[in-house]
Chains A and B, each alone.
Chain A
Amino acid sequence: MIWLPGIDYLPMSIADYDNSKLTIFFSIRGEGTAALASFKDKVVGIVGPLGKPLSINTRSRYLLVAGGTGLAPIIRLAKELNSLGIPTTIVWGTRKGENVGEVPTFFKEITGLDLHICTEDCSIGFCGKAIDLVNELIPKLKPAEIVAAGPNDMLAEIAYLSFKSGINPVLILESIIKCGLGVCGSCVLGTTGLRLCKEGPAIKASKVIDYLIKYLPESRRKEVISKGLPYVT
């Protein structure tokens, strides 16, 4: 959590850190993030890190998928995977090409890796949603591990596609984090009882599919409910 004294208290992913520098990646959405963007030479407080760390499977091929600012928690993971020499592919989707800007350069500087960019307005990179490219990449890359971060509808689709390929992906979810200590209840994921700030934010899809299923398109939702999928039961 990033504390802007007297202004706000914001949940943020750590994009990178070394001994004296902590990097965060965010977009300006409200009063808090606007204040953070212009908060120069002032004291900010940091509480964390919160939640559970991700464990890395060193004998695997990774496919990382990020939607929009969902890229934030993927950056540090990509750097770690690359430094361990683990083959890693990263798909990043954003609605408009104008959102891309310096992001690929910034990403490469930290991680040493390139982004597979997808834009819905087809102006840069792959034409379509991140999930469409992922659908093409899964059979080609045959990744053993998939980690995704982004909006719930994207995560639900990732879970669906991964399950079909026999993979139980790790999903990095978002919800409203207020206290960061597991007590206020605002980040609880539906009736799973899982708290994003304590048990999350990275959770195996099989544990949250009941919560995400409502974000799937009707036909797929019906398919999941009627047939079941690997891991779902």
Chain B
Amino acid sequence: MSLEITIASIKLKHPIMNASGILGNTPGGIIKLVKLGFSAIVTKTITPKPREGYKPPIIFSLPTGGLINAIGLANPGKKAIRELVRVAKEFNIPIFVSIAGENSDAFVDVAIEAQQAGANALELNLSCPHAKGYGIELGADPNRVKEVVEAVTSTVSIPVFAKLGLTDKVVEAAGKALEAGAKGIVLINTIKAMYIDVYALKPALYAVYGGLSGPPIHPIAVRIIYDVYKEYQAEIIGVGGVHDWKTAAEFIVAGAKAIQVGTALVYNDKVVNEILEGLKQWLKYHNVKSIHELVGIAHRR
């Protein structure tokens, strides 16, 4: 029995990667992610030029569960990619560079840099819900998704994943991304939300709106993974609220081959190993040798 998986021809020793936005913006952060046990590293979303992001508070742990964040795509810019990739390679761990831009040209600009730096794959952030002019503003329109993905896949040769979020047209957008040459889809991003402090009588985040992550969005992610898999049997990386083996296994049954974990790290540093132990038992329970045998199994009738 093995937890190894292959996704878009990339071999991973197990299916748990980190979600973009967690620690992947400095060499020290990458080292921390490696120590936390992830099988592949996903960088923080990188734009062509460095971005300051929003002023703090940029994140809160919510009384209703999960986190709300508006970091505002703060990142060190494309020049930092080389060092981030180098550090991951030192540990012999595949690295996905998450990239974003305001238009196709900006995506292509960072994509070229990432490929030259030796990145194993690209994750196109088409779904950040709180940075004006970026993310979901592109991702909500399936035709723009197609345009961006096509521009990138026609320029670079490494596998490209499109990261999409909750929109009315997410299934259609996933189809367009695949049509445009994406090797896989990452589902989902945080969901636009708000947290108000009733003592201060104000939205708590400096940016007012933020992205909701963690257990509250897990069932939404399950639904979207299920729908996208049903339509295209695509290579899917599931992300959203995974915090134990069961929430991870649900994604696999719905159609995800790999899983990203972010918010859970705030509450539990040992979450990766706990998920892996649970998944091993789960494979035994179902008497299968590999995770691949259970990917999308909910669709078999």
Taking beta carbons and an 8 Å cutoff, which residues of A are in contact with B? 1, 3, 5-6, 8-9, 43, 45, 47, 178-185, 188-195, 198
Contact = CB atoms under 8 A, between A and B. Distances in A.
B78 interface: no
Contact of B28 (A181, A191, A198): A191
Contacts of A191: 27-28, 31, 87
A178 B58 contact: yes
Kindly list the 3 A-B residue pairs having the minimum CB-CB distance in the complex, ordered from nearest: A9-B56, A193-B32, A5-B200
B299 interface: no
B22 interface: yes
14 contacts: A6-B206, A8-B55, A9-B56, A179-B71, A183-B263, A184-B23, A185-B23, A185-B28, A188-B32, A189-B28, A191-B27, A192-B31, A193-B32, A195-B23
B223 interface: no
Contacts of A8: 55-56
A193 B41 CA distance: 14
A143 B141 CA distance: 66
A178 B266 CA distance: 14
Residue picked from A1, A45, A189, most chain B C-beta under 10 Å: A45
Nearest to B213: A183
Contacts of A179: 56, 58-59, 69, 71
Contacts of A198: 269
Nearest to B44: A185
Most chain B beta-carbon neighbours within 10 Å: one of A6, A43, A184: A184
B265 interface: yes
B267 to A, nearest CB: 9
A184 B59 contact: yes
Given A183-B23, A191-B27, A45 B265 contact: no
Contacts of A189: 28
Contacts of B26: 185, 188
Contacts of A188: 23, 26, 28-29, 32
B285 interface: no
Contacts of B168: none
A183 B26 CA distance: 12
Contacts of B22: 183, 185
Given A183-B23, A185-B26, A5 B59 contact: no
B32 A184 contact: no
Give the interface size class of chain B.
35 or more
B31 A183 contact: no
A198 B25 CA distance: 17
Which among B21, B263, B266 has the greatest number of chain A C-beta atoms within 10 A?
Answer: B266
A195 B204 CA distance: 24
B60 interface: yes
B200 A185 contact: no
B35 A193 contact: yes
B164 to A, nearest CB: 22
A6 B196 CA distance: 12
Contact of B262 (A6, A45, A183, A192): A183
B272 to A, nearest CB: 14
B29 A6 contact: no
A178 B56 contact: yes
Contact of A181 (B25, B67, B74): B67
Contacts of A184: 23, 25, 58-59, 71, 74
B72 to A, nearest CB: 11
A183 B29 CA distance: 9
A9 B202 CA distance: 14
A1 B58 CA distance: 12
A195 B32 contact: yes
A5 B197 contact: yes
Given A9-B56, A183-B59, A185-B26, A193 B21 contact: no
Interface in B5-46: 21-29, 31-32, 34-35, 44
Nearest to A4: B200
A185 B29 contact: yes
Contacts of B59: 179-181, 183-184
A184 B35 CA distance: 17
Contacts of B200: 3, 5, 43, 45
A66 B96 CA distance: 43
A188 B34 CA distance: 14
A45 B198 CA distance: 11
Given A6-B202, A45-B200, A182 B29 contact: no
